Each structure stands twice: as structure tokens, then as C-alpha cells.
Chain A
Amino acid sequence: MSQALISAITEMREEDARQITTQLLDGGADPLKILDSCKQAMDIIGDQFENGEAFIPELILAGEMIKSISEILKSHMTEEVVTHKLGKVVIGTVQGDIHNIAKDIVVFMLDINGFEVTDLGVDVSAEKFVEAVKETEATIVGLSGFLTTAYDPMKVTVAALKEAKADVKIMIGGGQVNERICVYTGADAYGQDAIAAVSLAKQWIGA
């Protein structure tokens, strides 16, 4: 572990984080160890988000830092890193809605908590969700939506998914979504925030 790298990332010092990575590599450090430090830093940021100490800018910038560090590491890695994933989640913003900020945060948090996430993007039709679940064999689906006009597409998507794969677990969330809408759409659960998304997913895979 490199405490210097972890601090640079968690303190949002982008340039430092890059430099430290290069220095570590020049000093012969194992790229996998550097990746571990990145993961540790992300866990800390995840906790900060949970505690209301980190917000969207920090999550976005942290994501950028990890991306650029991974780029630097790529050429130094001999083999693909195989990480054990907890479970598979398919997620997207439902049809007719393009709000993606919150969904991206949910993806980010699921990802750093060990899930393999397939992000279908925004304005995703029920058919696309069904297809993706078949393809990935995911057991959990997350539907995001910010518009009241997303309620009905959510309902349609839940029905289509349950028909295609009866045991799939579906969680929904987004600004105008709440328990009432969970009942309305027939989803299995409503999650108030990305933290809830993670605990629901963990609960469903029995982790």
C-alpha cells in the first residue's frame, strides 16, 4: 500500500496522484499493489460519500483519477487482473428519461463494493433491460428515473423483466421515486440513495 497515493486520491490532488503513480512504478513497485491502493482510496471516498463528506464533484474527480492511473498502469501489467465479483447487476435510466448523474453514482458505488455492473445508459427500453439480463445472467436490476413520466416505463420494465426471468430482483430509485412508486411499479424495493442500492444488492445475493 502507498499511503502517499491514497492520500493524494482522497484529498483530490489529481496531479500528485499521477506523479506518485509514476514514481512508484519507476521505483519498481508492483502495479497490482498500486491498484490496491487505488481501491483503498475509493473505499474511503465511498465512506465519505455515505457520511455526507464527499459529493458529486469528488466522485467524478476520483473516477477520473482512477481512470488515468489505470491508463498509466496498463503498459506495466503483464496479465489481466481477475477480481472476484460479488454478483451481477444490470442498471439503467428508464425509457423517456435521460437523467444520468444519480445513476452514475449508483454504478460507481456498486462497482467499488465489488459488483459487476452492466450500465445500459439512459432512455433504456424494457426490451433492452430484458436482453441485457439474459446476456449477462445478472440477478439484480436497478432502474433509475427522475421524471414522474418515468413511473409508467418503470412499471412496464418491471413487468417485462419478471415475465422474462421470474426470480430477478428489481430495485428502483431517483428523485421522484419513493415507496409509493415501488408499490405502483411492482418493483422489489426502493432505494433512497446509492448506499441503499449497495445494501439491497448485498442483501439479495446473501453477502
Chain B
Amino acid sequence: MFPMPENWKELTVKERQTARLQAWANAGLEFTTPEAKKAYEQRTRMISDVVQLKKPERIPIIPWVGVYPAQYNGVTVEKLMYDYEVLGDTFRKFNADFLPDSLVSCSMIGPGKVYELLNIQHYHWAGHGTPPNTSYQYVEEEYMRADEYDTLINDPSHFFQHTYLPRVVGSLGPWAMLSPWTNVIELPLVAMAAVPVGIPNVQQSYQKLLAAGQAALEWFGAVGPIENASMAGLGLPQIISGITKAPFDYLGDTLRGTRGIMLDMYRQPAKLMEAMERLVPIAIELGLSGANAANSPFVFMPLHKGADGFMSNKDFEKFYWSSLKVVLLGLIDAGAIPYIFVEGGYNQRLDIISDSGIPAGHTVWMFDQTDMKEVKKKLGGWAAFGGNVSGSLLKAGKPQEVTDYVKRLIDDVAGDGGYILANGAVLDDATAENVHAMIDTGKEYGKY
């Protein structure tokens, strides 16, 4: 938990960020060796320097890893979702063998048992609809209908409880019978709100939820020590803790689907804008709660449906950027550091996102298929950035090609700081030699 200073309200935004960075650097881990402690301090220092646009001693290397550790360790993703001992072996091994500058966390793999108990409908996962050795799959549909904007806007929490969750979580179907808890304002209303909970179906749904909760806690109890072993044993700081999304993706991925939201841009733009505005404080809180709980300033934000090709720049500014910017500013105001995964290409958007309304040294932008020289031109001196080593190179290239690519990238854009070395798309499939080539080249060639 982030120990919030008592005078928080009086602190400037920069002081808040510094307070979070310091708390993260002094995480109170029980390091197993003095070397691990030293390495942890060095890594948090390098990363802090980069965020604050100073020149670190070396370029930090923060790969973005998905299910690749399973392949590396010769086990299936399915196994990792059910057998936490193997999960631990796999991620401890991955972190120890590759030694990046931040923890590669096992938490994103997730617990298959919990998903089963809840009877999740909107995802397939390894062995449950997708092959045992792959990442999960989202079944994108219009889980919120076009005519439900007002219900969402009126009370997002109740919309989730009463409408969205029953549609996507099989075991919570009966929750469509529940009434809003905000009804509970007079004694007789307490009883009225409790009545639907007594319905046998609803009772069953709660029983399943209790079992899922227990299974989730069990998983969480297993994940903690696994992460801790790499953090305290190898001196790897945890970067990603909080997660949140752009309001457009919140709606476009989760609720309306691509087709739905794209039609809404024409058919009901005002409702769409209103809903996104409504989701802004919810998105900020989602990011901050994770950052606070894990005591890490970084809030991970994958950007999905605003990439080049998804819409015109004019629409991007109106529908995507305007509310995303408010979320970024909300996180920054609380001292957090948005760590933004700019998926796909953003070659047309660089002028828009390098918005002078966002203070310098408060965001991190990780790119995939965006021209990095342009990124450096537009973002350099304003925000930290990195990424771009491609998935195709790491899978089908040769180690020497990876080494050459990384060197060229460093020559081109690492300049005098503010730069992080990373792959562009989440690492699911690659060769170990290539991943080593990327990380090792960064370590040798990335000294300033």
C-alpha cells in the first residue's frame, strides 16, 4: 500500500510524483542478498531518471511480456492457469534467466478455476476454447445495446451489476433481478433491497461467487510469494500495478464493441461523448486504486481503438483524445505515472498526443509500429518513450538481426535519456536467443 504523506493536499504535482517514486524505491522488501538490494536501487533509480527526463546510468530494459514464459519453460499456458507451483517455477525462471529491469509478473496469466466457477462467457482461455498454449481470447459483442446509454450514464455501477455482468458472467445471470444498492436509504427499503437476494437463483449465484472469491484469494496468495521471490531475490522492481483504459476503449472494447461504437460516432455522438465523460472518474479511480495497492506509481494503459486507421485525426481529437487526456491529467494530478502502450501505429497522431496541456516528465509512452525518429522529435524532452522491437523480428529473425536492430534504435533515438528499451507488441511467441539478444544488447550498448 502506498503510504500517502499527511500533507498530500499541499504537495505540488511534481512532489506527489516524487513521493510515489520514493515509496516505490524504498518498498521495504526483505532482499535476499546485498546485491539484490543494490540492483533494486539501481533499477528504480534508472527508471525514475527516465521518467523525469534525466540521463540514467544505462537505458532501462522493460520488455512487455504476455504468455511467452510458458513457451520458454516448455509448459502450456493452461497449466499455468491451474497449477501455481508450475506458475511460480516458470516466472521465477524467466526473470532469473533474462534479468530485465522490471519484474515480469505472473499475475496476468490469471486463475482458470475462478473463471470456470464464474462461468465466464465473454472470454475463451487456454484449454477452454483456445489452444492450451495460447493467450486468452475476447469474444467481442455488443454487451451493451445501442439504446442503453442512458441506463449506463445514470448509474454505471448498477448497469454493471444489473445488466452487463449477467450477460457476460454466466454464474451471475440472476443478478439481473437485483435492485440498486443506492435504494437503501430508509429502513423499510433495506428489506426491499434484500428481497431479491433471497430468490433461490440469486442465492445460488452468490454461492458461486463465494467459491470464486475463495479460489481467487488462493491464487492471489500464491502469486504474492512468486513475485516477491523475483523482486527480493533478483532486485526487480514492479512496474505495472494499476491498469486503466481510455474511456473510448472502456466503451469500445468492453461494452459496445468496435462495430457498435463506430456506428455510435455517427448515430448518437452526443450520447457517446456523455458516456465517456461519465466514465472518466471511474477510469481514474481504477488506475489509482491499483497503483495505491501495489505501491507503484505506474498505471498501465493500453490504447486500442484510436490507432492510425481507426478514425480521422479530427474524430480522434474529439472522440478519443479529449476524454483520455482528462484521465491522464487525473492520474498525473495524483502523482501517478501513466505508462501508455500505444498499440499499432500512431504516426498520424503524434502532434495530438504531445499535448502541451500535459506536464513534461509525467508520462511514459511505449510504441509498437510508430516511426521512432518521429517519436523522438515530437515527444523528446516532454515525455519518456520506448518500445518498437517488433514481434516478427523476435519470432522469425536471427539474434544478430535483433542485436543490429537494437543498436540502430539506440543510436537513433536514445539520445541523452528519457528512453526505455522494449519490444513493441506483447511477447507471446519468440525465440529465447532473440529475447536474450534484445535484452543483452540493451545492457551492453545502452550505457550512457
Chain B, Cβ-Cβ closest to A63 = B259
What's the A-B contact tally at a CB cutoff of 8 Å? 83
Given A98-B137, A148-B428, do A184 and B396 touch, yes or no (CB 8 Å)?
yes
User: In the complex, what distance in Å separates the CA atom of A109 from the CA atom of B250?
Assistant: 29
- Cβ of B98 within 8 Å of any chain A Cβ, yes or no, is no
User: In the complex, what distance in Å separates the CA atom of A102 from the CA atom of B394?
Assistant: 23
Q: Tell me which residues across on chain B come within 8 A of A95, comparing CB atoms.
A: 131
Q: Tell me which residues across on chain B come within 8 A of A101, comparing CB atoms.
A: 258
- Cβ of A57 within 8 Å of any chain B Cβ, yes or no, is yes
User: In the complex, what distance in Å separates the CA atom of A178 from the CA atom of B397?
Assistant: 12
Q: Tell me which residues across on chain A come within 8 A of B137, comparing CB atoms.
A: 96-98, 123
Q: Is the CB of A151 within 8 A of B429?
A: yes
Choice from A14, A123, A178 contacting B267 with Cβ under 8 Å: A14
- Cβ of B214 within 8 Å of any chain A Cβ, yes or no, is no
Given A60-B263, A98-B139, do A180 and B392 touch, yes or no (CB 8 Å)?
yes
Quick one: which of A106-131 are within 8 Å of B by CB? 123
Q: Is the CB of A149 within 8 A of B344?
A: no
Q: Tell me which residues across on chain B come within 8 A of A148, comparing CB atoms.
A: 391-392, 394-395, 425, 427-430
Given A148-B395, A151-B396, A176-B425, do A61 and B266 touch, yes or no (CB 8 Å)?
yes
> Which segment, of B27-35, B47-55, B304-312, faces chain A?
B304-312
Q: Is the CB of B425 within 8 A of A61?
A: no
- Cβ of A64 within 8 Å of any chain B Cβ, yes or no, is yes
Q: Tell me which residues across on chain B come within 8 A of A8, comparing CB atoms.
A: none
Q: Is the CB of A57 within 8 A of B266?
A: yes
Q: Tell me which residues across on chain B come within 8 A of A12, comparing CB atoms.
A: 266
Given A151-B396, A180-B392, do A56 and B428 touch, yes or no (CB 8 Å)?
no
Q: Is the CB of B428 within 8 A of A98?
A: no
- Cβ of A5 within 8 Å of any chain B Cβ, yes or no, is no
Give B residues with C-beta under 8 Å from A: 130-131, 134-135, 137-140, 258-259, 262-263, 265-267, 309-312, 315, 344, 369, 390-397, 425, 427-430
A-B contact pairs, 24 of them (CB 8 A): A12-B266, A14-B266, A55-B312, A57-B266, A60-B262, A60-B263, A61-B266, A64-B263, A95-B131, A96-B130, A96-B131, A98-B139, A101-B258, A148-B394, A148-B395, A149-B135, A149-B429, A151-B396, A175-B369, A177-B392, A180-B392, A181-B395, A181-B396, A184-B395
Give A residues with C-beta under 8 Å from B: 12, 14, 53, 55-57, 60-61, 64, 95-98, 100-101, 123, 147-149, 151-152, 175-178, 180-181, 183-184
Leading 3 A-B pairs by shortest Cβ distance: A57-B262, A148-B391, A184-B396
